Amino acid sequence: MLEIAVIYLAAAIVAVPIAKRLGLGSVLGYLLAGILIGPFLLGFVGDQTDIMHFAEFGVVMMLFLVGLELQPARLWKLRHSIIGLGGLQVSLTTLLIFCVVFYGFGLQWQAALAIGLMLALSSTAIVLQTLSEKGWIKQEAGQSAFSVLLFQDIAVIPILALLPLLAFQDITHTTGTGHNLIEGFPVYVQVAISLGVISAIVLAGKYVSAPLFRYIAETRLREIFTVFALFLVISIALIMQNIGLSPALGTFLAGVVLAESEFRHELEVDIEPFKGLLLGLFFIAVGASIDFPLLFENALLVISLVAGLIIIKVAVLALLARLFKMHSKQKLLFTLALAQGGEFAFVLLSLTTSLNILNPEQTKITTLVVAISMLCAPILLMMYEKHVNNSANKAPEFDDVKDMTAAQNVIIAGYGRFGQIVGRLLHAQGYHLSVLDHSPAQIEMLRRFDTEVFYGDAARKDLLEASGASEAQLLVVAVDEVDKSIEIIEMAQKYYPNLKIAARAIDRRHAYQLMHLNVHAFKRETFDSAVNLGIDALKLLGNNQQSAERAGKLFCQHDSDTLQSLADTWGDDKQYGIAVRQHLEDLQLVLDNDKKEQEKLNTCHGENCEQAK
């Protein structure tokens, strides 16, 4: 096991950076790494069946994260493209592939339909990662591609439920592994149990998960939260598997239910590394499982099938791009981005084989077609990029789709007394807020007032990224711990140099630290309120409103100037002490002189008053 782990890790370390440097993307790097170490080239690893079963859990985790992203507001905004564009793409592509396989190759209709459904899907991992790396995700084509992929990911769930109905023999004879605990019951009892379990997952996610997450969060141990997040995903997958349903179905539903949870961002960043590692392992296993002897024996057939798949997908996508009136170059990007098979096809292929829908040879040929089409996907996008770079008239077509929510996004780290005041003001001006707080009790209290707050430590780069730091305009650091505030600011400045920062200063010493960090704006938390109370005190002592407010204004101006000049000597106790005493004397002199001038103005008359002024 250790030898295999070393081989896989070494292959990824070598192949993926090279692929990235060549502009091929990390997914293609994983596939090439698998091809190199596979049994048909270097032979470092053998049969991939067991590893594939383990690595498929990365796809399960991907669906959980997809579910976490399905917030009602985002779904509603993309509803037309998700349902219309995505639904038409899956339906038309499935129909065309079904006709080709059924009439052209003479397969039974069940097998033809299964192949059509599998090949209609595109690679979420390859497409989204490539579009993000190239900066195309915010363009019209990128948003449309995301909508189609989202529909495809959702469509996997009913496809998984449909495939057993296409089986050529009793499911219990093909899948009787002993893991399905309810297979001995009548069908109506199995359906009732399945619906009951799904309902229990939804209800538990909605009403039970929040108290459990708060209990775990109160430990302030990040690893325990990560353990609980993994426990949640794995246990739901296990439950679904034990009642004969897809683990992906359970985790997807759990993700959708938790999409509105205040712990959503923390769940995303905790699960994401495991999902990424397992998907990387999955793609290496796919590459290593490509049967090159079979490919060489059936080279013409496989190449023809790959070309046919790409042509069918390009034709359908080009038609949809025209129907939905995309711009010309956006049509091309949208068409080429989705013209490949997807990772979910491998999951569905293993199921169709176990259900005897496809025979082993058909499964191997289909696996080759999907894998090679995925290898072609980055190449097609590289050709598109070269075409765009060589085009003289590209500016009008390359305008990004403006996402006003992202453009006006403000992240507030710490939502106590100070952060709430800032947040209410910004929210009233129409800015979208992403609020992070590390106190479960504070989050629970704010949720009662319909305030959207997410649990997490804002000093974590992955959590800030999940909150939209790469697109946000402003980060407001309102935490009440000096060290944590400095940690957040330094991390944000390192990874997000274009992000403006406004910070809460706990005291004068903290203010000096913020000045040295060159934050764009800061305010001492008690200074303004104390000055205003001082102005009220002057009024109570008999001073009129004008003189009291003028004294407060002079005091603020002098203190601001002092803060700037003393920042250079802060850290040298001797020089700082001398400078402080000098500034206090200067302040007293300024206020005394102003008071004398005001008294002189108040007692002058006529021409003497004009001269005094």
Domain ranges of the chain: 2-391, 403-525, 537-613
**CB 124, CB 343: distance < 8 Å:** yes
pLDDT of residue 404: 34
Q: Is the pLDDT of residue 44 over 70?
A: yes
List b or e across 482-502, with b for residues whose CB sees 16 or more CB atoms inside 10 angstroms: eebbbbbbebbeeebeebebb
pLDDT of residue 92: 95
CATH topology of domain 403-525: Rossmann fold (3.40.50)
266: helix, coil or strand? helix
pLDDT band at 421 (very low <50, low <70, confident <90, very high): confident
pLDDT of residue 54: 76
Q: Is the pLDDT of residue 228 over 60?
A: yes
pLDDT of residue 588: 62
Which residues, including other chains, have CB under 8 Å from residue 114's CB and lie 6 or more apart? 163, 166, 348, 352, 357, 358
Q: Is the pLDDT of residue 607 over 60?
A: no
Tokens 């590289």, located at residue: 382
Count of other CB atoms within 10 angstroms of residue 414: 26
Q: Is the pLDDT of residue 246 over 60?
A: yes
Quote the distance between the C-alpha of residue 161 and its chain's center: 28
pLDDT band at 93 (very low <50, low <70, confident <90, very high): very high
CATH second-level architecture of 2-391? Up-down Bundle (1.20)
Half-sphere exposure of 168 (CA within 13 A, CB side): 13
- The pLDDT tens digits of the residues spanning 584-594 come to 555 566 556 65
Which residues, including other chains, have CB under 8 Å from residue 119's CB and lie 6 or more apart? 93, 97, 309, 341, 345, 366, 369, 370
pLDDT band at 174 (very low <50, low <70, confident <90, very high): very low
Q: Which segment of 10-24, 149-163, 177-191 scores lowest on mean pLDDT? A: 177-191
pLDDT of residue 567: 62
Tokens 């699960």, located at residue: 271
pLDDT of residue 570: 56
530 versus 92: the higher-pLDDT residue is 92
pLDDT band at 407 (very low <50, low <70, confident <90, very high): very low
Q: Is the pLDDT of residue 89 over 90?
A: yes
152 versus 580: the higher-pLDDT residue is 152
CA–CA distance, 484 with 499 (Å, rounded to integer) = 18
pLDDT of residue 502: 92
pLDDT of residue 315: 94
- The pLDDT tens digits of the residues spanning 314-346 come to 999 999 998 888 887 788 889 999 998 987 888
585: helix, coil or strand? helix
Q: Is the pLDDT of residue 100 over 90?
A: yes
pLDDT of residue 477: 92
Q: How many helices (H) and strands (E) does the chain have?
A: 31, 6
pLDDT band at 393 (very low <50, low <70, confident <90, very high): very low
Give me the mean pLDDT over the 380-399 stretch. 62
pLDDT band at 595 (very low <50, low <70, confident <90, very high): low
Tokens 């040298």, located at residue: 572
pLDDT band at 400 (very low <50, low <70, confident <90, very high): very low
Q: Which segment of 209-223, 297-311, 383-397, 409-423 scores lowest on mean pLDDT? A: 383-397
Q: Is the pLDDT of residue 88 over 80?
A: yes
CA–CA distance, 12 with 32 (Å, rounded to integer) = 9
| Most confident segment among 456-470, 523-537, 591-605 | 523-537
User: Mean pLDDT across the chain, nearest whole number?
Assistant: 79
CA–CA distance, 324 with 85 (Å, rounded to integer) = 8
Q: Is the pLDDT of residue 363 over 50?
A: yes
Which residues, including other chains, have CB under 8 Å from residue 598's CB and lie 6 or more apart? 547, 550
Q: Tell me the two tokens of residue 603.
A: 């007692």
Which residues, including other chains, have CB under 8 Å from residue 338's CB and lie 6 or more apart? 89, 122, 127, 145, 148, 149, 313, 317
pLDDT band at 452 (very low <50, low <70, confident <90, very high): low
Q: Tell me the two tokens of residue 35.
A: 């091809």
> What percent of the chain stands above pLDDT 70?
82
pLDDT of residue 229: 83
Give the residue ranges of DSSP H helices in 526-605.
527-540, 545-566, 573-603
DSSP string, 337-400: HT-S--THHHHHHHHHHHTTSS-HHHHHHHHHHHHHHHHHHHHHHHHHHHHHHT-SS-TGGGPP
pLDDT of residue 403: 39
Q: Is the pLDDT of residue 177 over 60?
A: no
Q: Is the pLDDT of residue 605 over 60?
A: no
pLDDT of residue 597: 62
pLDDT of residue 596: 61
Q: Tell me the two tokens of residue 356.
A: 């005897």
pLDDT of residue 466: 77
> What percent of the chain stands above pLDDT 90?
10
Which residues, including other chains, have CB under 8 Å from residue 409's CB and lie 6 or more apart? 431, 432, 433, 434, 468, 471, 472, 473
- The pLDDT tens digits of the residues spanning 152-163 come to 877 887 887 788
- The pLDDT tens digits of the residues spanning 468-508 come to 888 888 999 998 888 889 989 988 888 888 899 999 988 87
pLDDT of residue 401: 37
pLDDT of residue 574: 53
pLDDT of residue 573: 52
53 versus 522: the higher-pLDDT residue is 522
Give me the mean pLDDT over the 601-607 stretch. 55
Q: Which segment of 77-91, 360-374, 439-453 scores lowest on mean pLDDT? A: 439-453
Q: Is the pLDDT of residue 518 over 50?
A: yes
